[in-house]
Amino acid sequence: MKALIQNAKLMRIDRVWKGHKPQGLGFSDTDVIIIDLKTKEGIKFTQNFYFRLKGDDTIGHSITKPSEKRQASVKEFIQKYISKDERYKVRTNISKWLGKEVEVEKLNGIFTIKI
């Protein structure tokens, strides 16, 4: 199934959650990409990617395995649907994501981007 990116924004995690981070996010997960999507059938949903953005706008490296997995899924998403550039600058280029088409799948009643 296909969906179009309706909106994409980059935020610091401390702007999303004023108190503590949700359980499971590591200390090195400092940023979140929030993507609003709409399927061809008109179903709207949101997907978040948690990761660490370096000062040069590229995706950082993490020292913990769960955080590293999250970083890898962001990189896979970008390389599959946005750009093949290994040093892709997320903050600089996130506005160009609007209108991009991505593959989605329904898992346990929830839509998610297929990576």
pLDDT tens-digit readout, 33-77: 999 999 999 999 999 999 999 999 999 888 888 889 999 999 999
* pLDDT above 80: residue 112: yes
DSSP, collapsed to helix, strand or coil, labels residue 42 as coil
Per-residue model confidence (pLDDT) at position 19:
76
DSSP assignment letter at 79: I
Per-residue model confidence (pLDDT) at position 40:
92
Copy the structure tokens of residue 34: 């929030």
* Domain extent listing, the chain: 2-113
**What is the H or E stretch that residue 3 is in?**
strand 2-12
* pLDDT above 90: residue 27: no
